[in-house]
Amino acid sequence: MPVIDNLQIQRYFDEGEVECSIEHPFLPDRLSLALIGGLNTYTLPDYCISIRRMTYNGIGLDPLPRRNQREVFQNSTQQGTPFWYVYNNVGLNNIILFPCPNSSVAIVTGDLWKQAQIQTPGLIVEFDRVSDNMFFTIPSTLRRQLLKKFVASQAFLTDNANVNLKVSSYFLNRWNTCKLELFELLDELYNQPRRLVINDFNTFNFFPGNPVLPINRFGISVSEGE
């Protein structure tokens, strides 16, 4: 009977993937919340790490720190169309819409990444999430190659006949190195700003070329000195 069974290996595999998605969020997701008129506080799922953007009826809402709401708006409770969302000092995974919605709005259904759904009346939240080890995972081309190092580091750390702290430390260092390489690759592919508009030609050192007369207007060539 093996010292470490397949269930333990799969558990370590899933733990490593979850650790990656928390340490360096790279898994975007969207959901829609049903709004109730007169209710301004709503709870996001536990797997939500950080909010990327939020839209109400297709219009983006701006983030508003809780402190600014207290100082600028004196915790006012007026109702109307939300323009901001308060994201901190509210409670675990809670947000406050401000002004408070004055009418109930149903959940937006369908593909929330399509323009038609975004413009549908309702609240859509885009956020970074924790891996679910099924649909939101590390890219398949890198997944097994990376996570097997974390599995090995934990397997040799387990209290059994095969425990080996030196080998576990070796694979743990490999895991940390490859994990940083993954984060750098993801940043370069998805997060690095792109130059879509060229507004300064001087940075490219482009200079006008020397003028050249048409071929039929060069004249008659002569030897130098004549």
- Domain boundary (106, 129, 152) is at 129
**Residue 144 falls within a domain, yes or no?**
yes
Residues 155 and 83 in one domain: no
From first to last of the 226 residues of the chain, give the pLDDT tens digit: 457 788 999 999 999 999 999 999 999 999 999 999 999 999 999 999 999 999 999 899 999 888 888 888 877 788 989 999 998 867 678 999 999 999 999 999 999 999 889 888 999 999 999 999 999 999 999 999 999 999 999 988 876 677 888 999 999 999 999 999 999 998 888 777 666 555 554 544 555 667 666 666 666 666 666 5
SS3 142: helix
**Residue 21 falls within a domain, yes or no?**
no
- Domain boundary (78, 105, 129) is at 129
pLDDT (0 to 100) of residue 1: 41
Angle between helices 140-155 and 6-23 (to 10 degrees): 120
Q: Could you list the residue range(s) of the whole structural domain that residue 81 is in?
A: 28-129
**Residue 216 falls within a domain, yes or no?**
no
Report the number of distinct structural domains present in the chain. Answer: 2
Please tell me the distance from the alpha carbon of residue 4 to that of residue 2, in angstroms, as a whole number.
5
- Domain boundary (129, 148, 175) is at 129
Residues 108 and 122 in one domain: yes
